[in-house]
Amino acid sequence: MTLKKFGRYEIVKELGQGGMAEVYEAHDPIVDRLVALKIIRRQFSQDPRFHDRFTREAKTIANLEHRAIVPVHDFGADDPSGQLYLVMRLMPEVLNKRLEREGSISLEETSLILNRLAAALNTAHSRGIMHRDIKPANILLDEDGTVFLADFGLAAAIDKMETGAAPAAYGGSMFYMAPEQWLDEPLGQFTDVYQLGV
C-alpha cells in the first residue's frame, strides 16, 4: 500500500530507501513547505535503546547550525505507531546520483566540496559530535549545486545497539567505513576525516 500521509506530513513521493529508513518528499501543511521526511524502520523504532539514542542525537543535531549542514526541522515518534522520523530541508540532488550521471567532477570542484564539508565537520567536532557515515549518498546539493552534509547522528544511534549484525548491515556504507569501524575499535574525529578522504 502506498503511504499517503505520516502524522501531519502529506507524502508527495518516495525519494529512496536504505537499510535503516525510507525517505520521502512531503508537504508540511503547517508551514506550507516541501520537506524531506525520513521514516525510521520499525525494527529500529521499536528498540528502546535505539529510540532513546535517536532522540538524544536528533535533539543535538537540530541545534547544530552550519552553512554546510542540512537543517533539521522536526523529529519525533509518530502517534500511535511509534515510528521515529526526522524532517529536514528538502534538497534536489544527491552527490552519488550526480556522480553516476556525470562520471566525475573537476579537481577544482572537488577541492571546494572538501573544504566546505571539512568546515562543517570542524564545527560538529568542536561540539563533540561525530558523523560516522560520510558517503556520497549523505552529501546533498541545493539548487545552486552547493553541497550539504546530511544524516548526522543516525549512525551513532545504530552503533549503540547490540545487534550482532555485520558492520555494514544497516547503512550499506562498507566502502566508506574506516578501519576502526570494521575492527569494532573506538571511533574518533579521525573516523570522519578518513571517510571524508575516501
Which residues form the catalytic set?
133
Cα–Cα distance between 47 and 45 in angstroms, integer? 6
Q: Which residue is associated with the grid cell 577544482?
A: 108
Q: Copy the grid coordinates of residue 83.
A: 515510528
